[in-house]
Structure formats: structure tokens, C-alpha cells
Structure 1
Amino acid sequence: MRVRRRAQALVIALALGLTPLLSASPAAAGEVWNYPEFPYQPTTYTEAYRGQFHFSSQQGWMNDPNGLVYANGEYHFFYQHNPHGLAWDTMHWGHATSKDLVHWTQKPIALEPDVHPGTLFSGGGVVDKDNTSGLKTGADDPIVVFANTDGVSVYYSNDNGKTFQAYDKGRKRITIPVQSRDPKVSWDAAHKRWVMVVWSENDAGDHGNGVEVYTSPNLLDWTHSSRYSAEWLFECPDLFQVPVDGDPNRKKWVLSTASGKYVVGDFDGTAFHADDPAPRPMDFGSGYAGGTFYAAETFQNAPDGRVVQMAWQGGNVGSTWTGNATFPAELGLVSTPDGLRITRTPVDELSSLASAKKKFDKQNVKENGANPFKGLRGDTYEISATVDVDKSTARRIAFGLHVRSDNTADRTVVYDKSAGTLDGHPVGLKKGKLKLRLLVDRGQLEVFADGGTYSLSDNVNFDSGTGSQGIRLYAEGGTAKLDSAVFRRLDSSWGTGQSTLDTDLGDRWNAVSGNWTDVAGGKQGRGSGNGFYLSTRTAGDGVYQGDVALNTAQAAGLTFRANDRGEGYTANIDKEGKVKLWRPGRDIATYNTPVTADSTHHLKVTTEGNRIRVFLDNGTDPVIDATDDAYAEGRYGANVFNGTATLQNLNTGDTGLDAFSTAKWNTSGGTWTTAGDGLHGSSPGDGFYLSERTGEDFTYEGDLSVTNGTATGLTFRADEKGQGYTATLDTKGQVKLWRPGKDLATHDTTVTEGRTYHMKVRTDGDRIRVWLGDDAAPVIDTTDATYRSGRFGVNAYNGNVIAQHLRIG
């Protein structure tokens, strides 16, 4: 939703009877140090009117799809979002992912106000596979998205959408002197550059509609190329190519707008030229903000050259959410006697939800006669039917959906033979036959006909009660000739992915005991006794590690070599002050150590035959080294005992923090976890992760990154609270050497969020030198005699940071 549309959005919300989600949770911006947030309460996605195969946000308000891309093996669906209430307010970018366009997993917030600068309204996204922007820093292809109003800012992710950084601190790469919004970017292969369309009023001041067209070689530097003016072009433009009649060597460009209207034409590298300037409707749903088909956007970089589209359906309202997306449709462009026309067809992956099928043969459906679908009941399903209209005498042919015993229905789809319309809109026939397809969900209905040239998206509050699940095909004013029909039940698409748990063990986990939910910190388990959450992956010998925060639990930890009930080995931490290795009926070994409920501890287990070793908090020596041969192999998992605990980064293998040897590390402020790419820290102020290793004169170096926020650094000669020296990388633009109460020296330089920098510190008595990168000369060379010896560690300040490859020489 956009600036001048805000009042309209609030009117829509009031008209729908929407109220804040929680009185104690008003619309709010984010905080940089705990980004990304996951502000969602648990759900089974079984609420009344919640679509079972249409995406809706786990909680809160959603509207326009944003930045739809296929990147690094996943579809990413971003959307306009208020996670804290049921009405439009304080726009964030929500995020969900899918492997197949059907099974969606809610992810943490992608873009947050006060974390990411600019107005985070609607926009587009691309996958920069060839790194034209130069923004790539890791193995993943960058996801680059565009937003803001009256100009365009750039945001990008190098970790497959987990976090986003603002390029050039969010300063606009394009400034537009009139009201504008909704940038959408595509790749122009013919001219080997990117093309952007942005809705704007014209500069004559008469509020005329149109799109500004920009081109770029690198996604960062843009040149204004042209303007396409049309009164129907209001908000959320999309410019994309579609093969004509399925021929990949013959493509045309399509320019569409938020209402679903479109024109077909050509793009010459600077300007779009329509074959016919009169727009056509892409869908017959209500094409206004808050209607049933609005702000549709196509995926960039979809496999096999497919053009896949999703739109906002604002009419779906539930107890904890508002709005949903249309089911993904593949777009085509076909030749008709009236010119080229867009087709919309549900993606084939829908068949993965089909659990039962019933076929209906050719038969006559007479007025007041028998219903072919009598006795068949369905809640979420698909019907494909062919009716021979030419041979039918009926004036009207209708499908009643969610029918009750008195023949009343929640929705009826009607073909009017004399008018040649389906649900009041003109529809074409093939050889005198109507071929239609109905997708019936709990709060959604989508109707397709005439090879996809007819599309109608609707929101319907279907009554899912057992007495309201009938289906009725009937005729009025004569007989209908049914050639054939197929009914398929469609199962739920929810509950197949991991929202917040980072793991290399895949998405297929199951809770065999206890209650397990997604929270910002990972997977949270709750049990009155032992609760187990198990992966389907099994192993005998290997390495298994993860982060554990006790919260209210007595104990929690890593389970391995377990059967389907969780019976196997568990290495846990216990609030009584110990690490314990146990199996059912036996405590194998324990190690006494301070354990606090508000701290996160890292556990690692290595197994070699009957030898089991347990390591604590990235220590290089095991705290438990024992033997037991009760279980040779089994499943990986997580355990909680008597309370609530949170587990994260459940990974196999030796990835993690690569650092110098030390007995263990300790936390002094902030939250510190160990992911596959290194040590992650998050702190609102100064937080320290401190080794037990100390030194006087040395060389200390490592790779540091501020994912989002202000600063990170190498801490040395410090006490157990972190008081000592810290050489800091600050995204405000400097390297700084400081100690409590004094900045000793600074060096001005650009420090970019998300970039990794190598920092080195050398101490010789009072002399302290700091190097950045591969520079031969230090950027700081100063003296201070306050601290002579102390611990080595890492610092985080007002942000999220990553540290890796820590070395002492």
C-alpha cells in the first residue's frame, strides 16, 4: 500500500471490521540489534476461512506481493505486511519460501522499518546471477530488491533472503520529482541490461498516470529512458516477456498494472510500444485495493523460462490474519481472432496435493433432475468439467459449491448460454464446449476457462461444516450436456518447512513428544517431561552440534543415534550446573559448569564407534569423553526436559566457529550462537564473547562482518566482563581502537553492512597497531598502558555481527 492510498486502506480495514491483533502489540518498527524478527504466534493453519493451498501470512495484515524471485533453489514470496495487527500500518516486507510454489514456509521479516531506511512500500526484486552489481560476497546469488517512494532505493541479500542490507545506506539511486512508487525490474536479454518501470504521476501536475522507464547495466546506476502514459496505469506496474503460443523464440512484452489490466507490445531497449493501447483485463476478480485480484507480480528467474504470477486477495479475513495470495498461475500468450491474449493456468505442482479422484462420464443434467455430484462432499478440492454448450438446451448451467440439504450454497458458478458469460463475464468456447476448472479453498475460489483466457479470482467464506460440503451441478430452462468431469480432493500445503530453525538436516522433522514451535531464536520446545523433536536423517559416526538456551527448562540438548521415539543418546545442559550425556536408564557421564537460563550454550558431539565426546561452548577439549555401545546409529534430534528451551543451528559436520584453541568461551552481554558460517552475535549495546585464553604481546586477527547495525570488533587484554581493548569496525565509517571511557584512535574508512573485513591487531608492550584488509601499513598505530594482559574475544555493538577464522600468533 502506498502514501495516498493509506486512507483508503484504513477505510477498507474498518469496513471489514478489522481490529488490532493484540492490544498490547501495536504496529511497530523493528530494532536493528534483533533483526530479523519472527513476531508470529504458533498456528496449525486450520482456522476458519484460512486457505489450505492459498498463501496467507502466519499472522497480521498482508497486501501486495513484492520482489517475487526464484533464487538458490527456492521461490521467495515477499509481501507488504503489518505483522502486529489486522489492519494496514507500518509496512514491513514479509517473507515466505517454497521449493514447489505450493508448500510455503513462513520466514522471519525481510525488511523492517527503522532497520532498513526508506519507505518500505511495494517493489520488485531480481536474482543477480551474473553479479552485475558487484554485491555478491558468498556462494549464493544475490537477491536484489527495490522499494521507496518518489524515488528508488536498493536492498540486497547475500544469504538467500535471511537478511537484507540497504545499499549506500538506503540513499535513493533514482529520485523522481513527482509522486511515484512500486519499482519493478526485469532483465532485457536482447539489449543485455536491466529495465525498471516505476508508477508515477506526470510532471504536468494533473495527476495523470503512467510509468517511468529506466535502464541499468548493474542494478545500481540507472538512466531514465522514457515514459509510457496511460490513465489505466495506476500502481504496481509489471513489465515482463511471455512466449507467443509457447514458442520460446518468439516473445512479446506485457505491461500490466495493479488492477490486472494489461497491454501487449515490444520494448526497443528504451521505450515500450503497445500493439493496441486499449487494455484488457487479466482476471475478472474485483481489481481494486482490498478486492480479490490486485497488485499481481511475476516471479523473476523462474526455472524453465516459466512466467508465474501471484496477486493479492484482500477480501480474506480471519481471526489472526487479513489477506491472502492467489494460487500461483503460469502465464501464457496465445493468438486469438481478437489479437494476443494472456492465459492464466494454475501451476502443475498443484497435483502434489491431490489425494483422491473421482471421474464422471458423459451424461445429461436435466432441470430438476438428479445431481451427478450427489453424495460427494468436499472442503478443499478441484473440479475440471467440460460441458457441450451447443448441444445443451439449458438457459443456465450452474455449479453450487458448499451446498446444504436445502440446496442453498455458499457460492454458485453460473454459465449463461444466451449471454455467453460465466459468472457475468464473457467466456469463449472451443468447438461449442465450455471447459472450466474450479479451485475451491476455505476462503478462496478461482475459476479458469477457455484455456486460461478466462480467469476469475474471488474470496468466499466457505462453511467447512460437514453439513455444508455438498456439490451440485444443475440446469435451468432445459438440459445440460456434461461431457466429462473430474473431482480431486486437495490436501493442506502447510507444515512442511522450517521457519526459523537453521539446520543442514533438511525440513523433514517431527515432534514425537512435547510441543515444538517456531520462535525468533530457532525451534522452541516445551515438555512436562522429556520432549523430542527428530529429524528423519540417521547416522552412526559423525559430528553433531547446536545452540541451546534453557529458558524455563530443567535441561535441553542434542539427541543422536535415536529411534522414532527419541530413545538414544542425549547430550544436554542442566540448570543445576552440569553437562550430561545420558540414555534411557543411565547417566553415562557429567561435567560440572555454570549454566544460566538466559545464556545460549553451544554443544558439539563427536561419535566414533562406542566413543562419545561432548564439547562445550566452542572449547577445543571435550568436557565429556566416554564409551557406551547401547546404540550404534539412529536419528538426529533435539530434547527438552521439564520446561521450555530454544535450540538453533542444529548441524552436522565440522563447520562452525574456526578459532584458536581455548578451554571454552563465555558470554558477557548479547546473544552469541554458532552457525555454519561462524560465530553470530547480537546485542543492543556492547556485548562480548570471550575466550578463556589470555595474552600479553601477540598478533590477533580474524574476519568480521556487521550484518546489520553499528559495530563489531576484536577484543583483547580483557577481563571476564570484556573490559580491555577493542579494535572496532563501525558502519558509520571508521576503524576505532577504544577501551572503557576512551577512544584511543580512529581511522576513517567505508565499512559496509554485510561485507566481511579482515582485521589484525599487534601488541608490543604499550604499542598497539591495527591493520585492515591486506594493507601493509597499519591504519592505527598508538600507545596505551592501561591493560597489560587479558582475554581474547569478539565484540558486538547495536547490531548483528559474524566472526570467523580467529587466529593468535
Structure 2
Amino acid sequence: MKTPMAITNQRYRLGYHLMTPGGWMNDPNGFSFFKGWYHIFYQYYPYAAEWGPMHWGHARSRDLVHWETLPVALAPDENENGCFSGSAVVYEDKLWLVYTGHHTPNAVDPEDFYQDQRVAWSEDGIHFTKYGANPVLKTPAGNTKHFRDPKVWQDGDMFYMVLGSQATDGLGRALIYGSPDLLHWQEVTELSKAVSKEKEGYMWECPDFFHLDGADILLMSPQGVEADGDRFRNLNQTGYLLGHVEEKKLAHHGFVEIDHGHDFYATQTMLTPDGRRVMIAWMNAWDSSMPEIEDGWAGALTLPRELSVKDGYLVQKPVAELKGLRQEVLLDGQLEAQQDYKLGKVAELKLTFADKAEGVLLLLTDGSRNLQLSLEPGGRLVLNRNTEDGERAAWRRSEGPLKLQIFLDKSSAEIFVDDGELTFTERMYWQDDVTCRLLAKSANQTKAWRLESESNLY
């Protein structure tokens, strides 16, 4: 029997983000609420800090903040070589997992594969049974071998599934299927398709489709989108198409990046019991360096973020439950320019510039790792970290006072700009306590808290 990977060094272990107890993590899966618990699953390889035959790791929480790691929910068996991404839905008092079975019949060539959709269920939310007649959906005609990542929801007496797909012409697309019982599926429509590989990608991973604030939104991670100025600077992107469904097609205004940092991919949302649309993502990307691999683990999930629509764009705010992490106040008032203020490694910083601030505004540093924010004339907000390809930038949508809310953790920084109109997600491998330094002489109002750390249970 294989032995799960052990952590060899705690230096980069996060204080309040969900991680694995050891081994590899990527996409969040199965974000759901069942019998009083929030559940999150994730792509997981327990036996090495590298991508391998995918399992479903599992954690649960009462409050979206403090997570308890549970046993592995799904593992490959003789019928599949990997349990790829998918989702969860509650039906007949059971928690159902709908996932992609990944098959590699030619062990010599990992690119010789096929994919299908499968289900499993649980009565207690911990122990899962795979359906004996899997798969419930095979790759359709007119599609390449790329056919994965089902996101399922219920509408009345029907279930619907949006799937990431690649048409035989090599363009990414999202397909919708319907089922009365989660076991028998029929295609409903091709919801949307890339206009070209360069602009919208050759494969749409991790799709999610929902209605919010009067708009229909397809959230997904397209592969192959080419860089365009400040946009699309990572290897693969994550963003959305926002519009309205007309005759079973999504009429939209073009693909919009949802996060502008280096380390954000593979979103999934859920509708909470009180009606909020909450999103979580992998807090890494396929081109992230991930030095924690040396320590026996890799990858983490972002903070949960509540979504809303403003002026035709998605807005992300940290869920209100995160305020419960706040401990003592570290800063309260105005920062003096060119002064260092100690934050530690686990903190929340809120800063509002009261006048028209421009230039290099803020530096977060531990003495060796730097994260700098600048605002150029016209509203171009620039993030620079002192790593290779360190710059990322986006244009503000508001003209008022610049607002920043920054969550620091032991190897990350999540930056919310203008009440979540823009976000930047970064893995920052802090070596020492972080200080903040205001670089521009600008009126400001600042508050910072030390946050609760080591909130995960293993």
C-alpha cells in the first residue's frame, strides 16, 4: 500500500487557506452544502507533491472559513485511471458527485486518452459509492477527446449539466445536458463556442453556468488564449461570458478575465442556503513555480468570494464570515509616507486613498519578497512582484477614491480593489514578517488586523 506524502517543512504552510495534508492539489470540485456542512472537494494526488492519477480530496466547514479535512472521497480504480473534476448536488437526501472519468489505455502515451462522465453518492457526506453502471455520459459525436469537468445544478424537476468541451474544429465550447435523475442525460444545447483559438481558446475547462442579478453567466478557464497587452498574461486564463440566453444560446459581450494576478485558475461556485453565489478557485496556475513542492505539498484554494454583478461585470467580495478571523487591531488611522508598519505573515489590510493618488503607492515586503502597487494616470493599476514576469495590470472601473483590501497569508496575498471590482491573486513565499510602506504622500485611512492562523484541522 502506498504511503501518503508527508510534510517535511512548515515554512510556507498557510494559516487560514485550505491546503492538502500532504501531496498535490489543483481544481476545487463539488462545492456544496449538505446536512449542515459546506463541502469542498479538490483534485488531489496524495502520494507525491506533483500531479498524478487524480483523486478527490475532501474537506468540510460550518462557516466557509474553518475547514476539516476528511478522507479521500474518490480514488481511481480498475474502471478509470483518474477521477477528474466535477461537481456535487443534493438529491433524495444524498450528496451526489458528478465527475469525469479519465482513461489512459496506452500506458506509454498519456496523451492517448478518452473521457466520460460518472456519478457517485453518499448518505453521510463522507463515504461515497460509485454507480455500478458508470459512465452515465460518453463523449458525443462532433467532439474531440476533451470532454470534462461537469457542473450540475437542479431547476425544478430537472437536472442540468454544463460541460467543458472541444469541437472537432479545435475550438473550445460549453455543452448543456439535461436529466431527470442524474443517471440518464440528453444534450440540450451548445451554449457557447469560441470565436477563435487565439481569442477564446481551444478547450474550455471547469465551466460553471448560473443566473445572477439579472444576467446569465458562463464562468470557465479557456486554454490557449493569446496574451493581449495587459490581458491574458498567464499560461491559461479564467474568466466569464456575461449576457442573456436567447434561443438556448448565450448572447454575450466577450470574454472577461475575472482575476488579474499570477495564481488563479479553475473556479467553482455554489449557491449558499441564504442565497449568495460564492466562488472559490485554485490559488495557483499551471505556470506557477510552487516552491512548496520541496516540502511535500503543492497548491491551495483561494478565499471564498461572494459574487455580484455591477455595470455588466462580475464583482468579488470576501465572504462576510472571514471577519471572524480578525484578532487584534494592528493599524488604525493614517499611514505616514516612507514609514514601515509591521503586519506579520497573517493579516488583513484595508486602505482607502482619500484624494486622487497616483504613482507608486504601496510596498509590501519581508526584506526579500516584494509586492508593489502603482496607479498610473487614467486608472491603470499595476502590480509588481520581484519575480520573473512579475508585472500584472488592469484598468480601474471606478473614478472615486482607490480602495484596497489585502489578505496576507504565509505564502499568499489576495488583493481586492474598489470593493472587489478588480482582484489580484498571488502566491508570495514570504521569508519573514511582512511590513507595509506607503510610498506616496497621500491622505489615507488604514486599518489592519492580525488574523487567526492554523485554522485548518488535519
TM-score (norm: length of structure 1): 0.48
Distance 1:349 1:308 in 2: 12
Contact 1:108 1:162 in 2 (8 A): yes
Query: Which of these residues, 365, 370, 384, is aligned with residue 411 of structure 1?
Result: 370
Distance 1:181 1:161 in 2: 27
Note the 1:83-232 alignment, pairs <5 A.
Answer: 83-114=46-77, 117=80, 119-128=82-91, 131=92, 140-149=93-102, 150-177=114-141, 178-187=144-153, 189=155, 192-203=157-168, 206-227=169-190, 228-230=192-194, 231=197, 232=200
Query: Which of these residues, 419, 425, 448, is aligned with residue 487 of structure 1?
Result: 448
The one-letter code matched in structure 2 to 1:195 is Y
1:142-193 Cα offsets, whole Å, 9 max, x none, are 333222255533322223332222223423433334212333234353x652
Note the 1:728-747 alignment, pairs <5 A.
Answer: none
Summarize the Cα distance change of 1:243–1:208 in structure 2 as closer, same or farther, 3 Å threshold: closer
Query: Which of these residues, 278, 282, 286, is aligned with residue 312 of structure 1?
Result: 282
Task: Look up the match of 1:58.
Answer: 21
Structure 2's unaligned 5+ residue stretches are 103-113, 223-236, 384-391
1:148 match: secondary structure: strand
Distance 2:84 2:341 in 1: 48
- Aligned pair 1:294/2:270, yes or no? no
Q: How far is 1:255 from its partner?
A: 3.6
1:122 match: secondary structure: strand
- Aligned pair 1:384/2:350, yes or no? yes
Contact 2:84 2:148 in 1 (8 A): yes
Summarize the Cα distance change of 1:375–1:171 in structure 2 as closer, same or farther, 3 Å threshold: closer
Distance 2:256 2:189 in 1: 23
2:274 match: secondary structure: helix
Distance 1:395 1:51 in 2: 32
Contact 1:103 1:493 in 2 (8 A): no
1:242-264 Cα offsets, whole Å, 9 max, x none, are 432xxxxx453334335212111
Summarize the Cα distance change of 1:429–1:313 in structure 2 as closer, same or farther, 3 Å threshold: closer
Note the 1:177-576 alignment, pairs <5 A.
Answer: 177=141, 178-187=144-153, 189=155, 192-203=157-168, 206-227=169-190, 228-230=192-194, 231=197, 232=200, 234-244=203-213, 250-257=214-221, 259-267=237-245, 271-276=248-253, 278-286=254-262, 292-299=263-270, 301-314=271-284, 315=288, 316-318=290-292, 319-335=295-311, 340-362=312-334, 365=336, 369-371=337-339, 374-390=340-356, 392=357, 394-402=358-366, 404=367, 409-418=368-377, 420-422=379-381, 423=383, 424-428=392-396, 430=398, 432-464=400-432, 468-475=433-440, 479-482=441-444, 484-496=445-457
The structure with higher relative contact order (CA 8 Å, sep 6+) is 2
Note the 1:711-722 alignment, pairs <5 A.
Answer: none
Q: How far is 1:332 from its partner?
A: 1.1
The one-letter code matched in structure 1 to 2:176 is V
Contact 1:40 1:83 in 2 (8 A): yes
Task: Look up the match of 1:671.
Answer: none
Contact 1:345 1:452 in 2 (8 A): yes
Contact 1:330 1:346 in 2 (8 A): yes
Q: How far is 1:98 from its partner?
A: 1.2
The one-letter code matched in structure 2 to 1:275 is H
The one-letter code matched in structure 2 to 1:285 is G
Summarize the Cα distance change of 1:450–1:242 in structure 2 as closer, same or farther, 3 Å threshold: farther
The one-letter code matched in structure 1 to 2:296 is T
Q: How far is 1:436 from its partner?
A: 0.8
Summarize the Cα distance change of 1:495–1:445 in structure 2 as closer, same or farther, 3 Å threshold: closer
Distance 2:163 2:399 in 1: 42
The one-letter code matched in structure 1 to 2:282 is W
The one-letter code matched in structure 2 to 1:171 is P
Task: Look up the match of 2:234.
Answer: none
Summarize the Cα distance change of 1:243–1:375 in structure 2 as closer, same or farther, 3 Å threshold: closer
Summarize the Cα distance change of 1:200–1:254 in structure 2 as closer, same or farther, 3 Å threshold: closer
Contact 1:353 1:493 in 2 (8 A): no
The one-letter code matched in structure 2 to 1:141 is K
Contact 2:17 2:456 in 1 (8 A): no
Structure 1's unaligned 5+ residue stretches are 1-23, 27-38, 132-139, 245-249, 287-291, 500-809
Summarize the Cα distance change of 1:219–1:212 in structure 2 as closer, same or farther, 3 Å threshold: same
Summarize the Cα distance change of 1:341–1:454 in structure 2 as closer, same or farther, 3 Å threshold: same
**Percentage identity across paired residues of the two chains:** 27
Summarize the Cα distance change of 1:144–1:400 in structure 2 as closer, same or farther, 3 Å threshold: closer
Summarize the Cα distance change of 1:213–1:169 in structure 2 as closer, same or farther, 3 Å threshold: same
Task: Look up the match of 1:74.
Answer: 37
Summarize the Cα distance change of 1:329–1:115 in structure 2 as closer, same or farther, 3 Å threshold: farther
Q: How far is 1:240 from its partner?
A: 3.0
Q: Would you say how many aligned residue pairs link Structure 1 and Structure 2?
A: 410
Distance 2:328 2:2 in 1: 43
2:94 match: secondary structure: coil
Contact 1:242 1:254 in 2 (8 A): no
Q: How far is 1:356 from its partner?
A: 0.8
Q: How far is 1:280 from its partner?
A: 0.5
Contact 1:122 1:236 in 2 (8 A): no
Distance 1:194 1:272 in 2: 18
Contact 1:183 1:196 in 2 (8 A): no
Q: For structure 1, which segment, 88-97 or 413-422, has the greater mean C-alpha deviation from structure 2 after superposition? A: 413-422
Contact 2:343 2:450 in 1 (8 A): no
Task: Look up the match of 1:514.
Answer: none
Q: How far is 1:419 from its partner?
A: 5.2
Distance 2:63 2:212 in 1: 22
Contact 2:83 2:100 in 1 (8 A): yes
Q: CA RMSD in A?
A: 2.6
Distance 2:326 2:57 in 1: 28
The one-letter code matched in structure 1 to 2:261 is G
TM-score (norm: length of structure 2): 0.82
Distance 2:132 2:211 in 1: 34
Q: How far is 1:417 from its partner?
A: 3.0
Task: Look up the match of 1:8.
Answer: none
Distance 2:159 2:249 in 1: 14
Distance 1:221 1:238 in 2: 20
1:426-457 Cα offsets, whole Å, 9 max, x none, are 34265531001111111111111122110111
- Give the number of the structure whose alpha-carbon radius of gyration is greater: 1
The one-letter code matched in structure 2 to 1:263 is L
Contact 1:124 1:147 in 2 (8 A): no
Q: How far is 1:79 from its partner?
A: 1.0
1:282-308 Cα offsets, whole Å, 9 max, x none, are 00123xxxxx11111113x42211111
Q: For structure 1, which segment, 168-177 or 221-230, has the greater mean C-alpha deviation from structure 2 after superposition? A: 168-177
1:107 match: secondary structure: strand
Distance 1:448 1:469 in 2: 18
1:241 match: secondary structure: strand
Contact 2:44 2:54 in 1 (8 A): yes
Distance 1:115 1:303 in 2: 37
Distance 1:239 1:68 in 2: 11
